[in-house]
Amino acid sequence: MVMTREEIWDMLLLVRMAYKDSLEGKSISFTGVNGRSITNHDPDAIREEIRYWEKLWAAANRRGGNVKLAHFR
């Protein structure tokens, strides 16, 4: 799956908003990168998602040409 910078930015904002909502005690639920469900009961998983999307965002904005935005395993 190849994502545009705009899609990566949107996901980063979504995850940051979910983290903020979880800190405020609001109920959240979404599917993370690995397809696992993340809720406000697991703040470590939300922080891990934030790190993932921030890393991807930084890679997408690096200078120097093509950036591989898909991860093949």
Instruction: Provide the whole-model pTM.
Output: 0.67
Candidates 34, 56, 57; CA nearest to 45 is 34
- Assigned domain for 65 exists: no
- Assigned domain for 29 exists: yes
Residue ranges making up the domain that contains 27: 5-60
How confident is the model over 26-47, as pLDDT tens digits?
777 677 766 667 766 677 888 8
- Assigned domain for 69 exists: no
- Assigned domain for 52 exists: yes
- Cα angle value 11/48/68 (rounded, 5°): 55
- Assigned domain for 72 exists: no
- Assigned domain for 67 exists: no
Query: What whole-number percentage of the chain has pLDDT above 90?
Result: 18
How many domains does the structure of the chain reveal? Answer: 1
- Assigned domain for 26 exists: yes
